[in-house]
Structure 1
């Protein structure tokens, strides 16, 4: 059974149903008469960087494949019932954080655990308060959802001292166990792979000639590193120029992104051909400003989200509305992995060290999907491991 308490002065999230609201209510995607416009021709065959262009073409084709085998764990400890775990969210309006939470809620229910959601409201004080409240519940495990654990270093140290395992989702820059900060494991795709395929999509889509704006949140180490890796990967093609890197904290995106967009249009004009953001959420906030500036939903700047692949991003891609591609995390699958990793920690077994392969969703393969759901039977795989 899942327990999702009403919001209190400690910023608790109201009911599991709030996850659906987060996904459904983030942004709309109005129609565009130019939605079927073709992508830009770019330089002929990537003449500006033929080797990088050829590598990008092969990598993008491989990442667009939608049928992938299961490469996760096949064995592990049986799961006891009645455990209580707490998911501390950086902020529940972050679609990736909400998507992983939704998967964890689903998996906890399936295994017979209680899961409580607490929203850190996107601020250090809110996250610290949420972590303190999580500890007061004396849970069997804690989940750090999308924030730097260093923000709550004292609370993290207390969890370690009390023997409460902590699993991160996008908490540090690399997947797997972490000693500093102390995490049983961190769940994410490899940031290097996400950054590389994002840059390669831009190289391929532009034909090797592009003016790129990068959107990031430097307050999150994981996000900052991702944007730095994207910038480095774009250098494989000298004719691809990074025009600007815009540092906009995710919790402030709805207010700051439109202002930044307007300034960028005025500053760069038509030389701004592509954008890449560490999170699709930036393009939800950018759409109105781009529309106001006279930019077509299916035209430049062509936008790619280097995570997380939420349902509204899929809708924008399908409708060709100010987003052309995303590198989605398998959010629901990662939620199930969170519960599996906590079960391993509770059983004093090592992490599975599972890292999902990188995937690319574009207008060519989005179909009717609402998020990236690998067709690999992960739910049944985990249920078998847990003895259900």
Structure 2
């Protein structure tokens, strides 16, 4: 789903940073799984985002809790060949969901080939065309929005090739003007509450804002950072800001944009300057994991104000969880498993092949802080063994 990963920064700086810190905007939190399967009812009681409560006494909870995928039988389509377009295998943020997509395809008995953009979106159209030329029946596009590969997608559609995205927006998305023709064959089913994927994505940011409001007792003074290069972050950022406006005692004291090219010292300097200019700030909002690790977290610690600032992080990959455990400039994250999303994309493709209804993926998100839902070590592990559910539904 679009909101759960920062759509790999597509720059060599991020590749280097990923290797150095295992950051991965989605990957380090690409979940491991347990054998126990929870039902939607079990999973609908997520942890609170913080130990504090709002003025009304209600602790914030996830508006879209994770739950087991639908178990409806949907037998595997036979003999399919698919291509998986990765936005950059050098970054774990792509390699984990892409690897999970390949794993799911193999479980279905399909052949899967990975085509690597190498963090260069300009190569995406050519890679889609390579997949077409290979005789692929389906193409999964990782973090590649439709406008980026419109011509190649039109060619694939003309040949009847099934296309599904992982964290990708279609050409008719309102943020692209809303007038384009949709080219993805189908989209992941996030449940009845997600008929408007943009609004659903905004809900992710809104839940982050609710946690911030609760943690500050309704007195949040926010330094808000965002990277508007990415469609998903435009939605999550809007959700956060719109929800914060509902809090009479809250305000945004600084709104600062940056780009992926600034990850590292440049971003850290921006954060440092903002904190110096706004001693009244009580909250810092990070848009994604890489920004937390390569700028925001270090600047907060160096400011000497870590104990006085509430920092809302990104997707909650393992390095961010380590920062929460050790109190190093991060208080909470909003987690959604990227490998689960990849399995859901392949399940969607299978249903499109067999002309079956696209089943509820069970996907959502879970707010985690030091007191709620934080594992003792390592990555977040969902209670739902989604792989087992999917394989049973596929009959494999």
TM-score of Structure 1 vs Structure 2, range by shorter chain: 0.7 to 0.9
Q: Deviations over 1:307-361 (max 9, x none)?
A: 5332222222222222211111122221211221111122233322535233111
Higher relative contact order, structure no. (Cα contacts within 8 Å, ≥ 6 residues apart): 2
Alignment partner for residue 278 of structure 1, among 287, 290, 310?
A: 287
Partner residue, 2:36:
none
1:156 aligned onto 2:153: yes
Corresponding residue number in structure 2 for 1:106: 103
Query: Equivalent residue of 2:182, what SS?
Result: coil
Change in CA separation of 1:64 and 1:351 when aligned onto 2, cut-off 3 Å: closer
CA RMSD of aligned residues (A): 3.4
Looking at structure 2, the residues matched to 368 and 187 of structure 1 have their Cα atoms a distance apart, in angstroms, of 31
Indicate the larger mover: 354-363 or 369-378. 369-378
Instruction: State which of 243, 249, 266 in structure 1 corresponds to 2:253.
Output: 243
Q: 1:238, CA displacement in angstroms? A: 2.1
Partner secondary structure for residue 88 of structure 1: strand
The aligned runs of 1:80-95 (5 Å cut-off) are 80=77, 82-92=79-89
**2: CA distance, partners of 1:366 / 1:41:** 13
Given that residues 310 and 370 in structure 1 are in contact (C-alpha distance below 8 angstroms), is that contact kept between their aligned partners in structure 2?
no
Equivalent residue, structure 2, for 1:368: 376
Using the alignment, how far apart are the partners of 1:347 and 1:241 within structure 2? 50
Report if aligned partners of 1:41, 1:206 keep a CA contact under 8 Å in 2: no
Matches within 5 A, 1:316-327: 316-327=323-334
Instruction: Establish whether residue 357 from structure 1 lines up as the match of residue 367 from structure 2.
Output: no
Instruction: Count matched residues.
Output: 339
Whether the aligned pair in 2 keeps the contact of 1:208 and 1:237 (CA below 8 Å) is yes
Distance 1:142 1:314 in 2: 33
How far apart are the structure 2 equivalents of 1:200 and 1:335? 28
Per-residue deviation at 1:96?
Answer: 4.5
Matching of residue 330 in structure 1 with residue 330 in structure 2: no
Residue by residue over 1:202-252, the C-alpha shift from the partner in whole angstroms, topping out at 9 and shown as x without a partner, is 001111112212222222222212101110101111221112333333465
- Residue number in structure 2 paired with 1:182: 183
Structure 1 pair 267–147 and aligned structure 2 pair: CA distance change class (3 A): farther
Is contact 2:204-2:239 (8 Å) kept?
Answer: no
For residue 217 of structure 2, what is the aligned residue in structure 1? 207
User: Structure 1 residues 74, 90: closer, same or farther in 2, change over 3 A?
Assistant: same
- With the length of structure 1 as denominator, give the TM-score of the two structures: 0.75
* Gapped regions of structure 1 (runs ≥ 5): 1-10, 12-17, 28-39
Shift of 1:198: 0.3
**For residues 20 and 368 of structure 2, what CA distance do their matches in structure 1 show?**
18
The structure-2 alpha-carbon separation of the partners of 1:138 and 1:310, relative to structure 1 and needing over 3 Å to count, comes to farther
- Once residues 226 and 131 of structure 2 are traced to their aligned partners in structure 1, the CA distance between those partners, rounded to angstroms, is 29
Q: 1:142–1:165: 8 Å Cα contact kept in structure 2?
A: yes
TM-score, with structure 2 as normaliser? 0.74
User: Which deviates further from its counterpart, 243-252 or 275-284?
Assistant: 243-252
Unmatched segments (≥5 aa) in structure 2:
1-9, 25-49, 191-199
Q: Structure 1 205/354 Cα, relative in aligned 2: closer, same or farther at 3 Å?
A: same
Mapped contact 2:188–2:348 kept (Cα < 8 A): no
Identify if the C-alpha distance between structure 1 residues 159 and 371 changes in structure 2 by more than 3 Å, giving closer, same or farther. farther
What residue in structure 1 maps to residue 34 of structure 2? none
Residue 320 to residue 118, structure 1, CA distance change in 2 (3 Å): farther
Cα 1:352–1:180 shift into 2, 3 Å:
farther
